[in-house]
Structure 1
Amino acid sequence: MTAYEKPDLAISEVENVLRRHLGPEVAEIAPMSGGNLSSVFSCVVEGKGYVVKFSDLDGAYETERYVSNLLSNEGIPFPKSLVLDKTGQLAYLIMERVEGRTLADCTAEEQTRQLPEMIGILSTMAEIDVGTTSGYGWIGPDGNGAYASWKDFVVAVNAEDQTGTFWENWYELFRTSCLERDVYEEIYSRLMTYIPYNEPNRRFIHGDFHQWNILSDGTRITGIIDGNCVYGDPLVDLAILDRHMPGNDVAKSYQIYHEEAGIAIPDFKERLIGAYYFKGLDGLRFYAKMGWKDAYQGTRSFLLNLKA
């Protein structure tokens, strides 16, 4: 199994799409870094910035448009969705551009200074009312989750048959990459024991909340982008940020924030461990597929050494 390759587009193709929707004044079209599954470009129209993303994956961006509306209405600085359409076999989404650079491009000190704001955003997302929707797992364009329970979702995303998705034929990774089946199955077994702690806490999960999907002007957070959005335990987002900002006591800061706000977090330790296992297991698979052996080894060690 080879590493996934994003769609390759000529600037002229991108220009045609943008002019179709934004008019002839489109200027400064340029590719953007980041995004493992999309080819992303920026442009300017009469001084205002826009972003267009292209993907060949089924249903790409339909949920992102829904999530854009959901988060924007709650004051989360998520890019507003403008156009969702197709060109040939590629789906594309045009959004307003959020100014700033990725938090990953900020210094470690700048990142640490903005941690309280990130904790606040995590808390706000976790409190979004999703009571009018149903289901767990992947959020569909109608706002509902794809599975009846968190357990059903966990089982499904780790199943061998992933036909038509990014993970099609992923079992080949056990043979062709650094992914170890015995390690994978050990972590999966542990994950299943924590499902009863995570399942009762159904909320919105961004699913990819780390420095490469957080924008900043160096002193404050200007935007949250992308995401693998699902319904489930919001501590999954905390686990992601904590693993991407080691040495910052992210989980402890989250607890303190909620204690000071008078918000109880039942079964915090058990839920966070379950969240670590859930995202870590997917991380092992992803790092193996992308050939990122150092990231694989670091995650492998962290998960195997987690203590109940």
Structure 2
Amino acid sequence: MKKPDIDDADIAKFLSDIFTDIRRTTPVFEGMESKALAFRDGHDDYVLRINRGNEGFLKDAYAHTHFASEHLPIPEVIRIGEFDKGFAYCISRRAPGRTLQDFPEEELSRLVQPVAATMRQIANADISNMRGYGPFGSDGVGRYESWRAFLVGIADPSHRDWSKFDGAIDRQRLSTYLRLLLRWAEHCPETRSLVHADFGSNNVLAAKGEITAVIDWSEAMIGDPLYDVANIFFWRSWLPCMEHQANYLQQQSRALASSTALRCYQLHIGLHHLHECLVAGLTDDVAWTIARCEQLVQEAD
């Protein structure tokens, strides 16, 4: 989904209609789908995000309400509403710190333990009032009846129509990936835990050696917490912060190297990202993702 194209002047006017003492605005990292900036009103710091839909924002609010704690910092959502022309906006409190991917590589080693501890906090979050598996809505209900149903759904034409991209990717290679995923999914446990599903890099903030915020819960789901580990492993060659974290996690658990579930989840993440890139027409990202999926398959032989 393409991010909104909105003039800075329109954003400034919008904010001035809500807040009375805006001191400054500064750009912050933007995701693939949201336009974002930080601003100060009086002595309080906030982040404004604008998207084409509000579901991700509602999940951020849900995450703060149900999971935030001293050891799992999640920014409070102050306001969600309609910006203009059907766009949705979200105003949340700004957490101190930088994203993991913004840290110099020489500083990453002191963050691997705090990041791992935060991952454990996510996995141990109380989801007793939630139902289902897979991605959940702002009502806390997952879309699938089982974890395996979520995993294999990526090969279901009713969930992902791969046929429309026959000219953009090698159909035989894709069929191999999907076949392997279906086979590996048989070995994945029916675990019910909170999964961030896009953990690391630009969605974790840190300062002074501590994690200060876990943000963007739009992809969050109910399932096996190993999926968050898999996300770090899948992207390890893309970003130094992911490589450092993957190395640390491997040192803590040698069994990860031979985990069929970990391979399955990495391939699932790759296929999900591949589909998103194909839809968006991101040719370079398509090529990188296919190469990464191919590497996973070759390593499994």
- TM-score normalized by the length of structure 1: 0.83
**Secondary structure of 2:166's aligned partner:** helix
How far is 1:214 from its partner?
A: 1.6
Matching residue within 271, 278, 292 for 2:268: 278
- What count of residue pairs does the alignment treat as equivalent? 289
CA–CA distance in 1 between the matches of 2:181 and 2:230? 14
* Residue number in structure 2 paired with 1:290: 282
How far is 1:192 from its partner?
A: 1.7
Contact 1:30 1:43 in 2 (8 A): yes
Instruction: Tell me, yes or no, if structure 1 residue 37 matches structure 2 residue 33.
Output: yes
Matching residue within 7, 10, 20 for 1:10: 7
CA–CA distance in 2 between the matches of 1:6 and 1:253? 39
**Secondary structure of 2:55's aligned partner:** coil
CA–CA distance in 2 between the matches of 1:170 and 1:58? 27
In structure 1, the gaps of 5 or more residues are 257-264
Instruction: Tell me, yes or no, if structure 1 residue 300 matches structure 2 residue 293.
Output: yes
Note the 1:181-220 alignment, pairs <5 A. Answer: 181-217=171-207, 219-220=209-210
**Secondary structure of 2:32's aligned partner:** coil
Matching residue within 104, 107, 111 for 2:104: 107
How far is 1:113 from its partner?
A: 2.2
Contact 2:55 2:137 in 1 (8 A): no
How far is 1:100 from its partner?
A: 1.4
Note the 1:132-147 alignment, pairs <5 A. Answer: 132-147=129-144
How far is 1:274 from its partner?
A: 2.1
* Residue number in structure 1 paired with 2:239: none
**Secondary structure of 1:57's aligned partner:** coil
**Secondary structure of 2:243's aligned partner:** coil
1:234-262 Cα shifts (integer Å, max 9, x gaps): 11100111233236524324538xxxxxx
* Residue number in structure 2 paired with 1:172: 164
* Residue number in structure 2 paired with 1:232: 223
Give 1:32's aligned amino acid: V
Contact 1:86 1:92 in 2 (8 A): yes
CA–CA distance in 1 between the matches of 2:13 and 2:142? 35
**Secondary structure of 1:221's aligned partner:** strand
CA–CA distance in 1 between the matches of 2:163 and 2:89? 30
Contact 1:138 1:231 in 2 (8 A): yes
Contact 1:187 1:303 in 2 (8 A): no
1:156-213 Cα shifts (integer Å, max 9, x gaps): 4444456xxxx8x7643332x4x33222222222222233433411111111112121
How far is 1:19 from its partner?
A: 3.6
CA–CA distance in 1 between the matches of 2:249 and 2:180? 21
* Residue number in structure 2 paired with 1:122: 119
Give 2:247's aligned amino acid: D
Contact 1:126 1:203 in 2 (8 A): yes
CA–CA distance in 2 between the matches of 1:76 and 1:171? 41
CA–CA distance in 2 between the matches of 1:183 and 1:141? 36
1:100-145 Cα shifts (integer Å, max 9, x gaps): 1221111222122211111111111111121221101111111111
Give 1:129's aligned amino acid: D
Give 2:124's aligned amino acid: E
* Residue number in structure 1 paired with 2:22: 26
* Residue number in structure 2 paired with 1:260: none
In structure 2, the gaps of 5 or more residues are 237-241
- Aligned CA RMSD, in angstroms, stands at 2.7
CA–CA distance in 1 between the matches of 2:88 and 2:162? 24
How far is 1:70 from its partner?
A: 2.4
Give 1:144's aligned amino acid: V
* Residue number in structure 2 paired with 1:259: none
Give 2:292's aligned amino acid: T
* Residue number in structure 1 paired with 2:43: 47
